[in-house]
């Protein structure tokens, strides 16, 4: 069985956040070195990113039906 996290929906989602969603809506600062933090919260994945310039925190909650998948994904980052 092949396991390539970049080809999974979650890997693609994280990639999207890492590349497209790092411009702060508060101050417009682009955190080029930044990345979203993925954390398992129950059956959900919560992505958080704090702007290094103004400190504004953003979060995306990804609802998953499978708790195990959520935990696994959070550990894989
Ligand atoms: Zn900011």
Residue-wise pLDDT for 21-49, tens only, equals: 788 989 999 998 888 888 888 888 888 99
- Residue 69 alpha carbon to ligand 1 centre in Å: 32
47/40 Cα distance (integer angstroms): 9
Rounded to the nearest 5°, which phi and psi values hold at 67? -60, -40
pLDDT at 2 over 60: no
Ligand 1 center from residue 20 Cα (angstroms): 15
The mean pLDDT value of the chain amounts to 79
Q: What is the mean pLDDT of residues 56-69?
A: 80
What separation in Å is there between the alpha carbon of 26 and the centre of ligand 1?
5
Give the 3-state secondary structure of residue 64: coil
**H or E stretch covering 60:** strand 57-63
Instruction: Specify the 3-state DSSP secondary structure of 58.
Output: strand
């Amino acid at each position: 069985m092949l396991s390539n996290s970049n080809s999974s929906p979650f890997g693609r989602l994280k990639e999207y956040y890492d590349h497209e969603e790092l411009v702060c809506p508060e101050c417009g600062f682009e955190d080029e070195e930044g990345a979203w933090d993925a954390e398992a919260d129950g059956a959900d994945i919560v992505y958080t990113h704090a702007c290094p310039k103004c400190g504004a925190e953003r979060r995306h909650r990804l609802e998953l039906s499978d708790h195990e998948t959520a935990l696994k994904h959070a550990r894989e980052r």
